[in-house]
Structure formats: structure tokens, C-alpha cells
Structure 1
Amino acid sequence: MRLAVLGGGGFRVPLVYGALLRDRAKPRVEEVVLYDVSAERLEAIGHVLRQLAAGHDDPPAVRTTTDLDAALRDAEFVFSAIRVGGLAGRTADERVALELGLLGQETTGPGGIAYGLRTIPVAVHVAERVAALAPGAWVINFTNPAGMITEAMRRVLGDRVIGICDSPIGLIRRAAAALGLDPARVSADYVGLNHLGWLRGLVHQGRDVLPGLLADDTALLKVEEARIFGPEWVRTVGALPNEYLYYYYFTREAVAAISGPTRGESLLGQQDAFYAAVRARPDEALAEWLRARKQRDATYMAEARDATDAGERDAADLEAGGYEGIALALMAAIARGEPATMILNVRNGSAVPGLPEDAVVEIPCTVGCAGVRPLATRPLPGRFLGLVQQVKAVEQTAIEAALTGSSRLAVEAFALHPLVDSVSVARRLLDGYRARIPELAAVFPS
């Protein structure tokens, strides 16, 4: 099988290739085509992958290209992890909001809207080229904001585009481990949108064990999310929230905690140093990548952990892996008919009552050679449903704004978001992002 990786010069591509190296079942991915707009980044990641493959029998062949059509032609799977505007765009996503006293974060709040507004036209173009050159391919989308981008790409590709995220499976893994259970032997009642969901139940041998976890402080504090939110609040909401809900439940604390460099600014420095080191010492590319990855993982959502004294991330949790395992499991389920139940970003239909049928939601699904089937969920209580409905309205407004180039709709998307407190501020957000991000200004020139 041929896998095209869009954003192939990205820092996390070696995680995907490492998962492919460990996969020995047939059929398997035999060729990986890396596409990126930066030939320099492709070269650096190519060095890392060659060193990762050393000592492995029959590793997947790797080809690199800066030609999108060449990457997509005849692909059976497409993994999309592009970053329109690069990390410089991400730093602007964060800083423009922070300078207006709002949350500055990559996918949540104003920054996520700005990221989506400039990414949607590119993602839809990618979808159109997939439809033309590889109409039988499955697109696995990890491009953020994942739910919004997946929903936009669905307009072209329908059910053949599936969004993934590693936050839900990480939460479920941690909850199961806190109870001494094998995560593979539990089923999760998880529902929401990408980066906005709740674990409401955890069934083991026919019994929901989540209430017992919520009642046990010792076990509960083994779960990173519970340390971030605090046991009292977790019990108040009656569920374990996705880590990104910290930005909604503790907005003031989140904004106040970003006192130094933002996450984007830190990553920009880390990654610039990594790519420069590989250019200077290509024979040490893998060692440089491993060092930079350790630093990156350890500082993930550091502002939330620092503000709540949640402590450092658990080493075992870091080693368990994330989205690369989800991508591989999804490909295996489809290509080899290995049935699985996974939490994915898919069309709602009637699975989540109270949301539009065409909305992309993040829920458990069964996956097999016939594709993906979302599983019905219990109705959301009002305290969850209202927030989900509001954020989904923002996402759908942002999609229309990006596809039509409407500045009016872009302002509406900002103003509707629960983390933006004024229509006037929404207008200033759009002006600020246009001034600092050329890719967004190109979508909304006036």
C-alpha cells in the first residue's frame, strides 16, 4: 500500500513512520510519500527516517516531493497534518488574542478560529486533488482544528475523510490505568467535539467503573486531567473532561499562566534548533530528533499543569504513544478488515442528539473494511450540550467564512465563541490576524 503524508517535513512524522516499521501484518504500507512545501524540512526528516529504519527488515520505502499531485497520485491512504502559516502563524494565533486579554491557544478560542480560517481553503483544495487523483483513498485528517477541518473536507470527500485525535484515547488510557485495568478491555462513553468532550462512562465486564474512580481521591489523582481540573470539579460535572476543557472551565487562570513565551513561541525555538542541528550534523539526525521530542512532550499543556500544580507528565503515559497508533489502527481496520472500536471525528447523523446531522463530532465508532460507523450516544445534559452547540455553530460559521471569503462571517465566528467577550473585540481579532498572518489576509483581503 502507498501512504501519502501531507506535512511530511513536520516534526512528528517520524512517529508515524516508527509505527509503520513495527507493523508486520499484511497488507502493509510499503511506500511512504512525504509531501511538504519546504524541501529543507523534507530533507531533515528524511535523514531521521533513514536512521529509524536502520536494522529493520523490509522497511517501507520513503520518497519525498514538494509536488502535491505527485504525492497524492495512486495513494491508498492520505495522512494530512499540514500547518498553514507554519509555527510563525501559530505564534500570531496566540499573541493576537493574548494582547486583547483573551486566551491565546492553538485550537481553542480565537487562535483556533484563526487557524481554521486560513487552513480551510487549503484543506478543501487538498480534498479536491485527492478526489481527482486518488478517488479510492481514505484521508486521515490530523490537521488542526481537526473537527472543523474534517467537516470542511467532507464537502468534497464525504465519508472517506476521517478526523483523528490522541486526546480522548489518552484520557481513557489514564482512567483505566488508575483503576488497574487494561485499557484494551474497557469501553468508553465519550462524546463531544474535537478538543471539547467528556468521558462519561467506562465499562469493564458489563459494569460502569467511572463512578468508583470519581469517588476515590487516591485513584482519581493518578489521572492527569483530574489533577488539572481538581477532584472537586470533576465530581461536580460528573465526568472526566478532555484536557482542553481547562481553557473553558478555568479561563482566567489559563490566560494568567501564559506569562512568558507561548507554546507556539517555545516550539518555534525548539524546532528551529532541531532543523538547524540536522543541517549541520545529518548523521546525528535521529539523536537530535529524540532529544527535541522529549523536550516537546514534557512541555505539552505546561501552562495548565503549572497553574494547578498537576506535576510533570507521567513517563509511562508519554511512552504509550498517541495519534500515530490511532492512524495505524484505523488503516489496519480498513485495509485488513481488523474490526476495532475507536473514537474518531465523523459525521454526526443522529449519533449525538441536539447537533446538526452534518456536524462532525468526536465519538466512538466501529471500523472495518466497509468503513466507519458512528455509535449512538446518550443525550448530553444541558450543561454540556449548550457549550457543544455554541462551539459547533462557531465552527460551521468559520467554514462558511473561509469558503466565501466573507469578513462579516469571520467576525461572526469570533464573536459567537464563548471565550470572546465582545463583538468589538471580535472585529479587532480579525484585523490583528490579518495584519500578522499573510495566509489569513489572503483569504480575507478586506
Structure 2
Amino acid sequence: MRLTILGGGGFRVPLVYRALLADRAEGRVTDVVLHDVEADRLRAIARVLADQAEAVPDAPSLTVTTDLDEALRGADFVFSALRVGGLAGRAADERIALAEGVVGQETVGAGGIAYGLRTVPVAMDIARRVAAVAPDAWVINFTNPAGLVTEAMARVLGERVIGICDSPVGLGRRVARVLGVDPADAWVDYAGLNHLGWLQGLRVGGHDLLPRLMADTELLGSFEEGRLFGAEWLRSLGAVPNEYLHYYYFGRETVRAYRDAVRTRGAYLRDQQAGFYEEAARPGVKALDAWLRTLADREATYMAANRTAVGDSEGRADEDLEPGGYEQVALALMRAIARNQRATLILNVRNGSTLPVLDADAVVEVPCHVNADGAHPVAVSPLPYHAVGLVAAVKAVEREVLAAAESGSRETAVKAFALHPLVDSVAVARRLLDAYTAEHRELAYLSR
């Protein structure tokens, strides 16, 4: 089976290859193609993958290319993991938003809109090339903002594009763990949009164990989301939010923490990864060792500013420092489709009738049954009104981003910023767009 990874020079690609090396089942991936527009990054990641494969018999073969059509030709699956504008673009998104006193995270608020506006046109072009060159391939989208980009690509590829994220997986795993349950035995009742969802139940044998968690203050304070949001707030919600909802529930505190930080997350990763790619290119350097050191630091500092904003000084638990989220979801999804082995996964797919507040084509993040025919959303508990309001508002913003990307309309792009719950002013929206278009050449198309 042939797997193509777009954005193949990306830092997290070795996580995917490590998972592929561990898969010895019949029908496994035998050929991996890495595509990227930056040849130097491709070479560095290829060195890491070669180190990973050293002691593994029959490791998947590896091809690298900067030619998109060559990469897609013959693919059974395509992983899309792009970062349009690179980490320098992410750092700029955060800086510009913070200058206006609003959240600039890469998938949330102003930063997410800026990232979406420059990513959607590229993702649409790729979807059209997949349709032309590899029409039978399944696309698994990692590219952020994952729900928005998946919805854009679905306009070309329909049900053959599925978005994934590791946040719901990690949340379900942590809640199951504190309740003493094997995550594999639990049904996670989770719904919303990407980076905007709520865990409303965790069922084992038909019994919901979440009320027991809500009644135990010590348990609530024993995992990341409990410390991040606080036991009192979680009990008020009667649910455990995705960690990214911290930007909504504690927006002012988070903006203050990011402004006080030495560097934003994007600037930190930009500098950190620049050091890794430089080191990995040096003759005689063990590229895998350099990557592992960088990965450990990356995981330890994840959402550090948010934890600072609420006074959480404990840091991340040891079991949460070991990555194993999004690549495992991707491989489980790929296996279920390729081998027609039914699996249940939380994915980004077309809504159908799952969340009545949204139309059928809206991409949502919900549990799905997966088989050879793709991913099929299943029934979830109704969202409470406060969640419905946020989901509807953010989906409206995503639709404006898609409309702006299609039309090139500055007015529509301003509307996307202005309608977002974390941007509180039309005047701020206009200044944000002016600053982002001045910074990013990829937004030059917004000229009408």
C-alpha cells in the first residue's frame, strides 16, 4: 500500500513513520512518499526516517520529491499536513493579534482566521490535483485549522477526505485514566467542531462514569483539563471541554499571559525547529537523536502560557509527554478503510444530521464508525445552548473564510474576523486584515 505525505518535511512526520514501522499486519504500508516545497526540510526529515528504519526489517520504502503530481500518482492514501507560511507565518499571526489585544493562536480566533485564509486556496488546489491524479485515494487531513480545511477539500473530494485531530483522543484517554478505565473499553460522548468540542459522557457497559468524576474534586484536579479549567467551572458546565476552549473561557488571562511571555508559542517553535533542521543537516549528526531531543522539549512546553494564565505550575504529567495521538488515529483510520475493519474514532466529517444546529455539509468533530466505505458519524448527546451558540458562531466564521477564499473579497474577510466571538470590534477586524495582508504575501488575492 502506498502512502503519500504532503508536508513531508514537517517536524511531526517521524511520528507517522514510527507508527508505520510498528505495523506488521497484512496490507500494511510498504511505500512512503514525502512531498514538500522545501527540499532542505525534506532531506532533514528523510535522514531522521532513515535512522528510524535502521534496525527494522522490511521497513517501508521511502521516496522524496518536490513534484506534487509525482507524489500523488499511485497513492492509496494521502496525508495532508501543510503549513502555508511556515512557523514564521504562525509567529506573525500571533504577534499581530496580540498587538490588538486578541487571541492569535493558530487555529483559534484571529490567528486561526489568518491561517485559514492563506491555507484554504492551497488546500483546494491540492484537492483538485488529487481528484485529477489519484481519484481513488483517500485524503486524511492533518492541516490546521483542521475542520475548516477539511470542509474546503470536501467541496472537491466529497466523503473521500476526512480530518483528524489528537485533542479529543488525548482528552478521552485522560478522563478514562483518572476513572480507572481502559480507554479502549470506553465510549466517549464528544461533539463540536475541531478545537471547539465537549466531552459530555464516558460510558462503559452502558453506564456513564462522568458524573462520578464531576462529584470528586480531587479527581477533577488530577488531569490537565481539570487543572486548566478548574473543578468548579467543569461542574458548572457538566462536561469537560477540549483544551482549546480555554481561549474562550479564559480569554483575557490568556492574552495577558501571552503578552507577558518572552516569546509566543509560534515564535518559540519557529526558533526551536530552525535549530533542529540546521543540526540535522550537519554531516555526522545522528538526525534521529536531534529530533527526539527537540520533540521532548516541544511536548513539555505545550500550552505552557495557558497553564501560566491559571496558575498551574505542575507542568504536564509524564504519561502526556509521550506523543501517540494523531498518527495513531490516522493509522487506525487508514487500516479500517483499507482492510474493512470496523473502528470507532472521533473524526472531522460532514455533519449529516448529527448536530441539528448545522447543515448537512458542515464539517463537525464527532465519533464515527469507519469501514471500507469511509467514516459515518453516529448519534451524540445534544449540545447545551451555550455550546450550540459557540458552535454556530464559529461555523459562521468558517463559512465566511471559505467565501472570502473563493471570491477574493476583502469585505468578506473582514466579516470573518468581525464575527468571531474572540474579536470584539469591526474596527479591530479591519486593522487585523490590513496587518495580515501586509505581512503575508499569500493573502494578496484578497484584493476585491
Which TM-score band applies after superposition, normalised by the shorter structure? over 0.9
How far apart, in 1, do the equivalents of 2:359 and 2:284 lie? 50
Structure 1: distance between partners of 2:322 and 2:96: 34
Identify the residue that residue 81 of structure 1 maps to in structure 2: 81
Corresponding residue for 1:173?
173
Q: Deviations over 1:259-307 (max 9, x none)?
A: 2200000001100000111112454100000000001111111111122
Task: Report the Cα distance in structure 2 between the residues aligned to 1:74 and 1:198, rounded to whole angstroms.
Answer: 39
CA distance in 2, matches of 1:57, 1:378: 46
Q: Does 1:435 align with 2:438?
A: yes
The correspondence of residues 6-405 of structure 1 with structure 2, limited to 5 A, is: 6-258=6-258, 259=260, 260-281=262-283, 283-310=285-312, 311-319=314-322, 321-405=324-408
| Residue identity matched to 1:399 | L
Task: Measure the CA separation in 2 of the matches of 1:117 and 1:305.
Answer: 29
Q: Distance in 2 between matches of 1:72 and 1:280?
A: 30
Partner of 1:408: 411
Percent of paired sites with the same residue: 61
| Structure 2 SS opposite 1:113 | helix
AA aligned to 1:425 is: V
Q: Which amino acid aligns with 1:133?
A: V
Q: 1:202, 1:210 within 8 Å by CA — same for their partners in 2?
A: yes
What letter corresponds to residue 417 of structure 1 in structure 2? H
CA distance in 1, matches of 2:161, 2:223: 32
Is contact 1:29-1:60 (8 Å) kept? yes
What secondary structure does 1:24 align onto?
coil
Moved more, 377-386 or 245-254: 377-386
| C-alpha separation in 2, matches of 1:424 and 1:307 | 27
**1:90–1:115 contact (8 Å) kept in structure 2:** yes
Supply the distance in 1 between the matched residues of 2:64 and 2:287 (Cα, whole angstroms): 17
- In structure 1, what residue type is equivalent to 2:187? S
For the Cα contact (< 8 Å) 1:353–1:380, is it kept in 2?
no
Counterpart-to-counterpart distance in 1, 2:168 and 2:239: 13
User: Match of 1:338, SS?
Assistant: coil
Deviation at 1:214, TM superposition (A): 1.1
CA distance in 2, matches of 1:193, 1:66: 33
**CA–CA distance in structure 2, aligned partners of residues 301 and 338 of structure 1:** 35
Shift of 1:316: 1.1
CA contact (8 A) 1:352 1:378 kept: no
Gaps of 5+ in 2: none
Distance in 2 separating the partners of 1:203 and 1:443: 48
Q: Matched residues in 2 for 1:421 and 1:315: separation?
A: 38
Q: Could you tell me whether the CA contact under 8 Å between 1:35 and 1:66 is conserved in 2? A: yes
Superposed displacement of residue 309, structure 1: 3.0
> How big is each residue's C-alpha offset from its partner over 1:227-267, in whole Å with a ceiling of 9 and x where there is no partner?
10000000001100000000000000000011220000000
Task: Report the Cα distance in structure 1 between the residues aligned to 2:399 and 2:249, rounded to whole angstroms.
Answer: 23
Q: Does the 8 Å CA contact 1:191/1:199 hold for their aligned counterparts?
A: yes
User: What is the CA distance between 1:223 and its match in structure 2?
Assistant: 1.8
Q: CA deviation at 1:320?
A: 5.3
RMSD: 0.9
- 1:282–1:119: structure 2 CA closer, same or farther, 3 Å change rule? farther
Partners of 1:248 and 1:238 in 2: how far apart? 17
SS of 1:139's equivalent? strand
TM-score norm. by structure 1 comes to 0.98
Instruction: State the secondary structure of the residue aligned to 1:280.
Output: coil
Amino acid at match of 2:250: F
The amino acid across from 2:377 in the alignment is: P
How far the C-alpha of 1:369 sits from its partner, in A, is 1.3
Specify the code of the residue in structure 2 equivalent to 1:327: A
Give me the whole-angstrom Cα distance separating, in 1, the residues matched to 2:445 and 2:278.
32
Greater shift after overlay, 371-380 or 392-401? 371-380
TM-score (norm 2): 0.98
Question: What is the letter of the counterpart of residue 316 of structure 1?
Answer: E
Query: Deviation at 1:443?
Result: 2.3
**Alignment-derived partner of residue 422 in structure 2:** 419
Q: Distance in 2 between matches of 1:19 and 1:128?
A: 29
The DSSP-based 3-state class of the residue aligned with 2:286 is helix
State the one-letter code of the partner of 1:276: E
Pick closer, same or farther for the CA change 1:282–1:367 going to 2, 3 Å.
farther
For structure 1, the 5+ residue unaligned runs are none
Distance 2:328 2:289 in 1: 22
Name the CA distance, whole Å, in 1 between partners of 2:432 and 2:284: 41
